[in-house]
Amino acid sequence: MRYFFVLFFALFELSAVAAVKNVIFMIGDGMGYNQIHISQELLGKKLFLTTLPVSGMVFTSSANNRVTDSAAAATALATAHKTNNQSLGKDPQGQDLPSLLEKLKKTGKRTGLVTTTSLTDATPAAFATHVSNRKEHPLIAQWLLKNKVDLLLGGGRKYFLPLLSQFKKEHYELITSTQELSHILPLKNKRLLGLFHEEHLNYEIDREEIPEMAEEPSLSQMTQAALQFLKNSPKGFFLMVEGGKIDHAGHEIDLATMAREVLEFDHAIEKAVAFAKKRKDTLIIVTADHETAALGFVEATDIPHLQSLQVSAQYMIQKFQKDSEGKFTEESIKTVLKDHAHFPDVTQEELQILQKISNRSVHDASVVLGSLISKRAEVVSVSLKMIQTGNTHGHSSAPVPVFSFGPGAQSFTGTMDNTAIPLKISKLTHVSLH
Protein backbone atom coordinates (compact mmCIF):
# COMPACT_ATOMS: atom_id res chain seq x y z
CA MET A 1 0.00 0.00 0.00
CA ARG A 2 2.79 2.41 0.94
CA TYR A 3 4.62 1.72 -2.30
CA PHE A 4 1.42 2.28 -4.16
CA PHE A 5 1.10 5.78 -2.70
CA VAL A 6 4.74 6.58 -3.39
CA LEU A 7 4.24 5.50 -6.99
CA PHE A 8 0.95 7.36 -7.23
CA PHE A 9 2.43 10.62 -5.97
CA ALA A 10 5.53 10.24 -8.11
CA LEU A 11 3.32 9.87 -11.18
CA PHE A 12 1.10 12.73 -10.06
CA GLU A 13 4.11 14.95 -9.61
CA LEU A 14 5.46 14.03 -13.02
CA SER A 15 2.21 14.90 -14.76
CA ALA A 16 1.96 18.11 -12.75
CA VAL A 17 5.37 19.34 -13.83
CA ALA A 18 5.38 18.18 -17.46
CA ALA A 19 5.49 21.32 -19.56
CA VAL A 20 3.13 21.95 -22.45
CA LYS A 21 5.14 21.43 -25.65
CA ASN A 22 3.20 23.38 -28.28
CA VAL A 23 1.11 26.54 -27.84
CA ILE A 24 -1.33 27.85 -30.46
CA PHE A 25 -2.51 31.31 -29.39
CA MET A 26 -5.46 32.49 -31.51
CA ILE A 27 -6.64 36.10 -31.34
CA GLY A 28 -9.79 37.41 -33.01
CA ASP A 29 -9.09 41.14 -33.28
CA GLY A 30 -12.18 42.99 -32.04
CA MET A 31 -14.10 39.74 -31.43
CA GLY A 32 -16.25 40.36 -28.36
CA TYR A 33 -19.22 38.28 -27.22
CA ASN A 34 -21.58 40.14 -29.55
CA GLN A 35 -19.35 39.62 -32.58
CA ILE A 36 -19.72 35.88 -31.97
CA HIS A 37 -23.46 36.16 -31.38
CA ILE A 38 -24.09 38.39 -34.42
CA SER A 39 -22.05 36.08 -36.65
CA GLN A 40 -24.04 33.04 -35.53
CA GLU A 41 -27.32 34.87 -36.21
CA LEU A 42 -26.24 36.06 -39.67
CA LEU A 43 -24.67 32.75 -40.69
CA GLY A 44 -27.61 30.80 -39.28
CA LYS A 45 -25.36 28.32 -37.53
CA LYS A 46 -23.35 27.63 -34.43
CA LEU A 47 -19.65 28.46 -34.54
CA PHE A 48 -17.16 25.70 -33.78
CA LEU A 49 -15.40 27.81 -31.14
CA THR A 50 -18.47 27.73 -28.91
CA THR A 51 -17.99 23.95 -28.59
CA LEU A 52 -14.53 24.29 -27.00
CA PRO A 53 -14.55 22.65 -23.56
CA VAL A 54 -13.39 25.53 -21.34
CA SER A 55 -14.28 29.23 -21.41
CA GLY A 56 -13.80 32.35 -19.32
CA MET A 57 -14.29 36.11 -19.39
CA VAL A 58 -11.50 38.65 -19.94
CA PHE A 59 -11.30 42.37 -19.06
CA THR A 60 -9.24 44.41 -21.48
CA SER A 61 -8.48 47.96 -20.25
CA SER A 62 -5.00 49.38 -20.96
CA ALA A 63 -2.63 51.21 -18.56
CA ASN A 64 -3.84 54.68 -19.59
CA ASN A 65 -7.32 54.10 -21.02
CA ARG A 66 -10.45 52.15 -20.01
CA VAL A 67 -10.77 51.42 -23.72
CA THR A 68 -7.70 49.68 -25.11
CA ASP A 69 -6.32 49.86 -28.62
CA SER A 70 -4.87 46.79 -30.34
CA ALA A 71 -1.28 47.73 -29.46
CA ALA A 72 -1.73 47.90 -25.68
CA ALA A 73 -4.05 44.87 -25.73
CA ALA A 74 -1.62 42.77 -27.76
CA THR A 75 1.22 43.84 -25.47
CA ALA A 76 -0.84 42.66 -22.48
CA LEU A 77 -1.51 39.31 -24.20
CA ALA A 78 2.12 38.93 -25.34
CA THR A 79 4.00 40.09 -22.22
CA ALA A 80 1.55 39.95 -19.26
CA HIS A 81 2.03 43.71 -18.66
CA LYS A 82 -0.38 46.60 -19.15
CA THR A 83 0.92 49.47 -21.22
CA ASN A 84 -0.35 52.69 -22.82
CA ASN A 85 -2.35 52.74 -26.05
CA GLN A 86 -0.05 52.86 -29.13
CA SER A 87 2.83 51.11 -27.32
CA LEU A 88 4.15 47.74 -28.50
CA GLY A 89 6.28 45.55 -26.24
CA LYS A 90 7.23 48.49 -24.02
CA ASP A 91 5.87 49.50 -20.60
CA PRO A 92 4.46 53.02 -19.94
CA GLN A 93 7.96 54.18 -18.92
CA GLY A 94 9.41 53.00 -22.23
CA GLN A 95 11.20 49.90 -20.91
CA ASP A 96 11.22 46.83 -23.17
CA LEU A 97 8.96 43.98 -22.01
CA PRO A 98 10.06 40.44 -22.94
CA SER A 99 7.32 38.55 -24.77
CA LEU A 100 6.09 34.99 -24.46
CA LEU A 101 7.37 34.33 -28.00
CA GLU A 102 10.84 35.62 -27.15
CA LYS A 103 10.99 33.61 -23.90
CA LEU A 104 9.77 30.40 -25.52
CA LYS A 105 12.18 30.85 -28.44
CA LYS A 106 15.05 30.87 -25.93
CA THR A 107 13.96 27.42 -24.71
CA GLY A 108 14.44 26.05 -28.25
CA LYS A 109 10.88 26.23 -29.51
CA ARG A 110 10.23 27.32 -33.07
CA THR A 111 7.94 30.32 -33.47
CA GLY A 112 5.34 31.60 -35.90
CA LEU A 113 3.04 34.57 -36.50
CA VAL A 114 0.06 34.36 -38.87
CA THR A 115 -2.41 37.15 -39.65
CA THR A 116 -4.81 38.52 -42.27
CA THR A 117 -3.51 42.08 -41.74
CA SER A 118 -0.03 43.45 -42.33
CA LEU A 119 2.50 41.46 -40.27
CA THR A 120 3.65 44.81 -38.91
CA ASP A 121 0.21 45.49 -37.43
CA ALA A 122 -0.21 45.67 -33.65
CA THR A 123 -1.28 42.11 -32.78
CA PRO A 124 1.50 40.09 -34.46
CA ALA A 125 4.05 42.85 -33.80
CA ALA A 126 3.56 42.86 -30.01
CA PHE A 127 4.95 39.32 -29.80
CA ALA A 128 8.35 40.26 -31.25
CA THR A 129 8.70 44.04 -31.25
CA HIS A 130 9.62 46.87 -28.87
CA VAL A 131 8.51 50.27 -30.18
CA SER A 132 6.57 53.08 -28.49
CA ASN A 133 4.57 53.91 -31.62
CA ARG A 134 2.62 51.15 -33.39
CA LYS A 135 2.72 53.10 -36.65
CA GLU A 136 6.47 52.55 -37.17
CA HIS A 137 5.90 49.76 -39.68
CA PRO A 138 9.40 49.66 -41.28
CA LEU A 139 10.99 49.46 -37.82
CA ILE A 140 8.57 46.68 -36.81
CA ALA A 141 9.55 44.66 -39.91
CA GLN A 142 13.19 44.98 -38.74
CA TRP A 143 12.23 43.69 -35.29
CA LEU A 144 10.55 40.61 -36.80
CA LEU A 145 13.81 39.95 -38.66
CA LYS A 146 15.94 40.60 -35.56
CA ASN A 147 13.86 38.16 -33.52
CA LYS A 148 14.17 35.54 -36.31
CA VAL A 149 10.54 34.45 -36.02
CA ASP A 150 10.67 31.13 -37.92
CA LEU A 151 7.41 31.57 -39.79
CA LEU A 152 5.69 34.80 -40.82
CA LEU A 153 2.50 34.59 -42.91
CA GLY A 154 0.30 37.59 -43.71
CA GLY A 155 0.34 40.98 -45.45
CA GLY A 156 2.56 44.05 -45.37
CA ARG A 157 4.84 43.20 -48.32
CA LYS A 158 5.84 46.84 -48.86
CA TYR A 159 7.46 47.04 -45.42
CA PHE A 160 9.57 43.92 -46.00
CA LEU A 161 10.82 44.53 -49.55
CA PRO A 162 13.79 46.71 -48.44
CA LEU A 163 14.86 43.92 -46.04
CA LEU A 164 14.59 40.93 -48.37
CA SER A 165 18.32 40.30 -48.80
CA GLN A 166 18.73 40.31 -45.03
CA PHE A 167 15.83 37.90 -44.59
CA LYS A 168 17.48 35.59 -47.16
CA LYS A 169 20.73 35.67 -45.19
CA GLU A 170 18.79 34.37 -42.18
CA HIS A 171 17.57 31.39 -44.24
CA TYR A 172 14.08 32.68 -44.99
CA GLU A 173 12.29 31.43 -48.08
CA LEU A 174 10.00 34.10 -49.55
CA ILE A 175 6.60 33.07 -50.88
CA THR A 176 3.84 35.32 -52.24
CA SER A 177 0.97 33.10 -53.42
CA THR A 178 -1.48 30.43 -52.28
CA GLN A 179 0.13 28.09 -54.83
CA GLU A 180 3.59 28.47 -53.26
CA LEU A 181 2.16 28.12 -49.76
CA SER A 182 0.69 24.73 -50.66
CA HIS A 183 4.17 23.47 -51.66
CA ILE A 184 6.25 24.50 -48.66
CA LEU A 185 8.60 21.95 -47.16
CA PRO A 186 9.28 22.02 -43.41
CA LEU A 187 13.07 21.81 -43.66
CA LYS A 188 15.03 21.99 -40.44
CA ASN A 189 17.20 25.01 -41.10
CA LYS A 190 14.71 26.97 -43.11
CA ARG A 191 12.46 29.89 -42.14
CA LEU A 192 9.40 31.06 -44.03
CA LEU A 193 8.28 34.57 -45.00
CA GLY A 194 4.89 34.56 -46.72
CA LEU A 195 3.74 38.00 -47.91
CA PHE A 196 0.40 37.85 -49.71
CA HIS A 197 -0.53 41.53 -49.98
CA GLU A 198 1.15 44.94 -49.99
CA GLU A 199 -0.86 45.89 -46.90
CA HIS A 200 -3.82 43.93 -45.44
CA LEU A 201 -5.36 40.88 -47.10
CA ASN A 202 -8.81 41.36 -48.66
CA TYR A 203 -12.09 40.41 -46.97
CA GLU A 204 -13.25 36.78 -47.28
CA ILE A 205 -16.74 37.93 -48.31
CA ASP A 206 -15.27 39.46 -51.51
CA ARG A 207 -13.35 36.33 -52.60
CA GLU A 208 -15.69 35.56 -55.50
CA GLU A 209 -15.71 39.17 -56.70
CA ILE A 210 -11.98 39.96 -56.62
CA PRO A 211 -10.04 37.67 -59.02
CA GLU A 212 -6.62 38.62 -57.53
CA MET A 213 -7.72 37.01 -54.27
CA ALA A 214 -6.84 33.63 -55.80
CA GLU A 215 -3.26 34.54 -54.83
CA GLU A 216 -4.28 35.21 -51.21
CA PRO A 217 -4.58 32.19 -48.94
CA SER A 218 -7.40 32.15 -46.40
CA LEU A 219 -6.61 32.29 -42.67
CA SER A 220 -7.38 28.57 -42.29
CA GLN A 221 -5.04 27.70 -45.19
CA MET A 222 -2.26 29.75 -43.58
CA THR A 223 -2.92 28.10 -40.20
CA GLN A 224 -2.80 24.62 -41.71
CA ALA A 225 0.45 25.43 -43.52
CA ALA A 226 1.97 26.90 -40.34
CA LEU A 227 1.17 23.73 -38.38
CA GLN A 228 2.73 21.57 -41.11
CA PHE A 229 5.82 23.77 -41.08
CA LEU A 230 6.26 23.82 -37.29
CA LYS A 231 4.94 20.43 -36.19
CA ASN A 232 8.23 18.50 -36.20
CA SER A 233 10.15 20.97 -34.06
CA PRO A 234 11.95 18.74 -31.51
CA LYS A 235 11.28 21.17 -28.62
CA GLY A 236 7.84 22.22 -29.79
CA PHE A 237 6.54 25.52 -31.11
CA PHE A 238 4.69 28.73 -30.26
CA LEU A 239 2.27 29.91 -32.96
CA MET A 240 0.09 33.04 -32.83
CA VAL A 241 -2.79 33.19 -35.32
CA GLU A 242 -4.79 36.40 -35.70
CA GLY A 243 -8.19 36.92 -37.34
CA GLY A 244 -7.14 40.51 -37.90
CA LYS A 245 -9.91 41.81 -40.12
CA ILE A 246 -12.82 41.09 -37.77
CA ASP A 247 -11.79 44.43 -36.24
CA HIS A 248 -11.61 46.24 -39.59
CA ALA A 249 -15.16 45.18 -40.52
CA GLY A 250 -16.26 46.20 -37.00
CA HIS A 251 -14.86 49.71 -37.47
CA GLU A 252 -16.77 49.87 -40.77
CA ILE A 253 -19.99 48.71 -39.02
CA ASP A 254 -20.10 46.15 -41.83
CA LEU A 255 -21.73 43.19 -40.10
CA ALA A 256 -22.08 40.85 -43.07
CA THR A 257 -18.35 41.21 -43.76
CA MET A 258 -17.52 40.81 -40.09
CA ALA A 259 -19.50 37.56 -39.85
CA ARG A 260 -17.49 36.07 -42.73
CA GLU A 261 -14.21 37.08 -41.05
CA VAL A 262 -15.35 35.46 -37.79
CA LEU A 263 -16.34 32.33 -39.75
CA GLU A 264 -12.90 32.09 -41.37
CA PHE A 265 -11.23 32.57 -37.96
CA ASP A 266 -13.51 29.78 -36.72
CA HIS A 267 -12.30 27.51 -39.57
CA ALA A 268 -8.71 28.23 -38.50
CA ILE A 269 -9.59 27.23 -34.91
CA GLU A 270 -11.11 24.01 -36.20
CA LYS A 271 -7.84 23.18 -38.03
CA ALA A 272 -5.82 23.88 -34.89
CA VAL A 273 -8.06 21.70 -32.71
CA ALA A 274 -7.95 18.85 -35.26
CA PHE A 275 -4.13 19.06 -35.05
CA ALA A 276 -4.13 19.12 -31.23
CA LYS A 277 -6.58 16.24 -30.95
CA LYS A 278 -4.05 13.88 -32.56
CA ARG A 279 -1.54 14.57 -29.78
CA LYS A 280 -1.56 15.39 -26.07
CA ASP A 281 1.07 18.11 -25.92
CA THR A 282 -0.65 21.07 -27.59
CA LEU A 283 -2.50 23.86 -25.78
CA ILE A 284 -4.89 26.10 -27.74
CA ILE A 285 -6.06 29.47 -26.41
CA VAL A 286 -8.68 31.45 -28.33
CA THR A 287 -9.45 35.01 -27.25
CA ALA A 288 -9.82 38.61 -28.45
CA ASP A 289 -7.83 41.75 -27.75
CA HIS A 290 -10.94 43.94 -27.27
CA GLU A 291 -14.45 44.53 -28.58
CA THR A 292 -14.89 46.82 -31.61
CA ALA A 293 -17.75 49.30 -32.14
CA ALA A 294 -20.08 48.22 -29.28
CA LEU A 295 -22.11 46.21 -31.78
CA GLY A 296 -25.49 44.72 -30.98
CA PHE A 297 -28.86 43.56 -32.26
CA VAL A 298 -32.18 44.85 -30.89
CA GLU A 299 -35.79 43.88 -31.61
CA ALA A 300 -36.05 46.14 -34.66
CA THR A 301 -32.85 44.89 -36.31
CA ASP A 302 -33.51 43.75 -39.88
CA ILE A 303 -31.51 40.52 -39.83
CA PRO A 304 -32.75 39.25 -43.25
CA HIS A 305 -31.44 42.46 -44.85
CA LEU A 306 -28.01 42.01 -43.30
CA GLN A 307 -28.05 38.36 -44.39
CA SER A 308 -28.75 39.40 -48.00
CA LEU A 309 -25.46 41.37 -48.30
CA GLN A 310 -22.90 39.47 -50.38
CA VAL A 311 -20.03 41.97 -50.68
CA SER A 312 -18.24 44.36 -48.31
CA ALA A 313 -18.84 48.10 -47.99
CA GLN A 314 -15.23 48.48 -49.16
CA TYR A 315 -16.07 46.67 -52.38
CA MET A 316 -19.10 48.91 -52.95
CA ILE A 317 -17.06 52.08 -52.38
CA GLN A 318 -14.61 50.94 -55.03
CA LYS A 319 -17.47 50.37 -57.47
CA PHE A 320 -18.68 53.98 -57.20
CA GLN A 321 -17.65 56.00 -60.26
CA LYS A 322 -16.30 59.53 -60.10
CA ASP A 323 -17.25 62.50 -62.26
CA SER A 324 -14.77 64.97 -63.78
CA GLU A 325 -14.51 66.76 -60.42
CA GLY A 326 -13.65 63.56 -58.60
CA LYS A 327 -17.08 63.23 -56.96
CA PHE A 328 -19.01 59.93 -56.77
CA THR A 329 -21.76 60.11 -59.42
CA GLU A 330 -25.39 59.95 -58.28
CA GLU A 331 -26.06 57.36 -60.95
CA SER A 332 -23.31 54.95 -59.77
CA ILE A 333 -24.21 55.35 -56.08
CA LYS A 334 -27.82 54.44 -56.87
CA THR A 335 -26.89 51.45 -59.05
CA VAL A 336 -24.30 50.01 -56.66
CA LEU A 337 -26.51 50.41 -53.59
CA LYS A 338 -29.46 48.84 -55.41
CA ASP A 339 -27.41 45.88 -56.67
CA HIS A 340 -25.24 45.23 -53.62
CA ALA A 341 -26.81 46.89 -50.56
CA HIS A 342 -30.34 46.07 -51.77
CA PHE A 343 -31.59 49.62 -51.20
CA PRO A 344 -34.85 50.15 -53.16
CA ASP A 345 -34.05 53.87 -53.18
CA VAL A 346 -31.33 56.23 -51.98
CA THR A 347 -32.46 59.34 -50.10
CA GLN A 348 -31.17 62.81 -50.96
CA GLU A 349 -29.52 62.96 -47.54
CA GLU A 350 -27.71 59.63 -48.10
CA LEU A 351 -26.52 60.80 -51.53
CA GLN A 352 -25.09 63.98 -50.04
CA ILE A 353 -23.35 62.10 -47.24
CA LEU A 354 -21.74 59.69 -49.72
CA GLN A 355 -20.72 62.35 -52.24
CA LYS A 356 -19.01 64.28 -49.46
CA ILE A 357 -16.62 61.38 -48.80
CA SER A 358 -15.60 60.87 -52.46
CA ASN A 359 -11.96 61.71 -51.75
CA ARG A 360 -11.51 59.81 -48.49
CA SER A 361 -9.50 56.57 -48.24
CA VAL A 362 -11.40 53.35 -49.01
CA HIS A 363 -11.50 52.44 -45.29
CA ASP A 364 -12.67 55.91 -44.16
CA ALA A 365 -15.36 55.99 -46.85
CA SER A 366 -16.43 52.44 -45.92
CA VAL A 367 -16.91 53.53 -42.31
CA VAL A 368 -19.54 56.00 -43.56
CA LEU A 369 -21.22 53.62 -46.04
CA GLY A 370 -21.22 50.73 -43.54
CA SER A 371 -22.83 53.00 -40.95
CA LEU A 372 -25.53 54.03 -43.45
CA ILE A 373 -26.38 50.42 -44.26
CA SER A 374 -26.39 49.43 -40.59
CA LYS A 375 -28.53 52.42 -39.68
CA ARG A 376 -31.20 51.24 -42.14
CA ALA A 377 -31.04 47.77 -40.61
CA GLU A 378 -31.33 49.17 -37.03
CA VAL A 379 -27.97 47.83 -35.86
CA VAL A 380 -26.80 49.22 -32.51
CA SER A 381 -23.25 50.57 -32.53
CA VAL A 382 -20.87 53.28 -31.38
CA SER A 383 -21.42 56.69 -33.04
CA LEU A 384 -19.80 57.58 -36.34
CA LYS A 385 -18.19 60.55 -34.59
CA MET A 386 -16.45 58.25 -32.08
CA ILE A 387 -15.12 56.07 -34.93
CA GLN A 388 -13.82 59.12 -36.76
CA THR A 389 -12.33 60.97 -33.79
CA GLY A 390 -11.77 58.53 -30.89
CA ASN A 391 -8.32 57.41 -29.71
CA THR A 392 -9.23 53.81 -30.62
CA HIS A 393 -11.60 54.77 -33.47
CA GLY A 394 -14.56 53.20 -31.74
CA HIS A 395 -13.42 50.28 -29.60
CA SER A 396 -15.44 49.55 -26.45
CA SER A 397 -14.48 48.45 -22.94
CA ALA A 398 -16.75 45.36 -23.11
CA PRO A 399 -15.13 42.17 -21.80
CA VAL A 400 -14.24 39.44 -24.29
CA PRO A 401 -14.33 35.64 -24.08
CA VAL A 402 -11.45 33.17 -23.78
CA PHE A 403 -11.77 29.54 -24.90
CA SER A 404 -9.20 26.80 -24.40
CA PHE A 405 -8.39 23.24 -25.38
CA GLY A 406 -5.64 20.78 -24.46
CA PRO A 407 -3.31 20.25 -21.48
CA GLY A 408 -3.76 23.03 -18.90
CA ALA A 409 -6.92 24.32 -20.58
CA GLN A 410 -8.82 24.20 -17.26
CA SER A 411 -6.80 27.09 -15.85
CA PHE A 412 -8.41 29.50 -18.35
CA THR A 413 -11.83 29.52 -16.70
CA GLY A 414 -13.62 32.17 -14.61
CA THR A 415 -13.05 35.90 -14.99
CA MET A 416 -9.58 37.32 -15.50
CA ASP A 417 -7.60 40.27 -16.71
CA ASN A 418 -5.97 40.05 -20.16
CA THR A 419 -2.50 39.92 -18.55
CA ALA A 420 -3.47 36.68 -16.76
CA ILE A 421 -3.61 34.76 -20.06
CA PRO A 422 0.10 34.91 -20.99
CA LEU A 423 1.00 34.44 -17.33
CA LYS A 424 -0.95 31.16 -17.25
CA ILE A 425 0.65 30.09 -20.56
CA SER A 426 4.10 30.91 -19.19
CA LYS A 427 3.47 28.75 -16.11
CA LEU A 428 2.27 25.84 -18.26
CA THR A 429 5.34 26.11 -20.51
CA HIS A 430 7.80 26.73 -17.63
CA VAL A 431 9.10 30.15 -18.60
CA SER A 432 8.98 33.34 -16.54
CA LEU A 433 7.39 36.62 -17.69
CA HIS A 434 7.56 38.49 -14.38
Q: Which residues bind Zn ion (CB under 5 A)?
A: 247
Residue pair 120/162 in contact (Cβ under 8 Å)? The answer is no
Judged by beta carbon, residue 132 or residue 391, the one nearer Zn ion is: 391
- Residue 120 CB, shortest distance to Zn ion, in Å, is 15
In whole angstroms, give the CA distance from residue 165 to residue 177. Answer: 19
H or E element that contains 35: helix 33-43
CB of 247 to Zn ion, least distance (A): 4
30 or 422: whose CB is closer to Zn ion?
A: 30
**109 versus 251: smaller Cβ distance to Zn ion:** 251
Rounded to a whole number of angstroms, the minimum distance from the CB of residue 68 to Zn ion is: 10
**Spatial distance between the Cα atoms of 34 and 379, rounded to a whole number of angstroms:** 12
* Cβ count near 359 (within 10 Å): 11
Residue 176 phi/psi, 5-degree rounding, is -135, 10
Q: Which is nearer to Zn ion, 85 or 142 (CB)?
A: 85
In the complex, minimum distance from the CB of residue 361 to Zn ion, in angstroms, rounded to a whole number = 15
The CA distance from 186 to 37, in Å, is 38
List the beta bridge partners of residue 405.
Answer: 284
Active-site hit among 39, 62, 70, 366: 70
Q: Which is nearer to Zn ion, 58 or 283 (CB)?
A: 58
CB nearer to Zn ion: give 150 or 247. 247
Cross-strand pairs, 195: 154
* 70 flagged as catalytic: yes
347 contact partners, CB below 8 Å, separation of at least 6: none
H-only helix segments in 127-169 = 137-146, 157-160, 164-169
Nearest CB to Zn ion, comparing residues 247 and 266: 247
28 Cα distance to chain centroid: 4
415 - beta bridge partners? 57
Q: Are 75 and 98 in contact (CB under 8 A)?
A: no
Alpha carbons 383 and 325: distance in angstroms, whole number: 30
Which residues, in sequence order, are bridge partners of residue 404? 54, 285
**Residue 19 C-beta: closest distance to Zn ion, Å:** 34
Q: To the nearest whole angstrom, how small is the minimum distance from the Cβ of residue 65 to Zn ion?
A: 13
CB 70, min distance to Zn ion, A: 5
User: How does 342-354 read in b/e, with b if 16+ C-beta sit within 10 Å?
Assistant: ebeebeeebeeeb
Whether residue 261 contacts residue 272, with contact meaning beta carbons closer than 8 Å, is answered with no
Q: What is the DSSP string of 293-309?
A: TT-B--TT--HHHHHT-
203: left (phi over 0), alpha (psi -120 to 50) or beta: beta
The distance of Cα 422 from the centroid of its chain, to the nearest Å, equals 17
Annotated catalytic residues are: 70
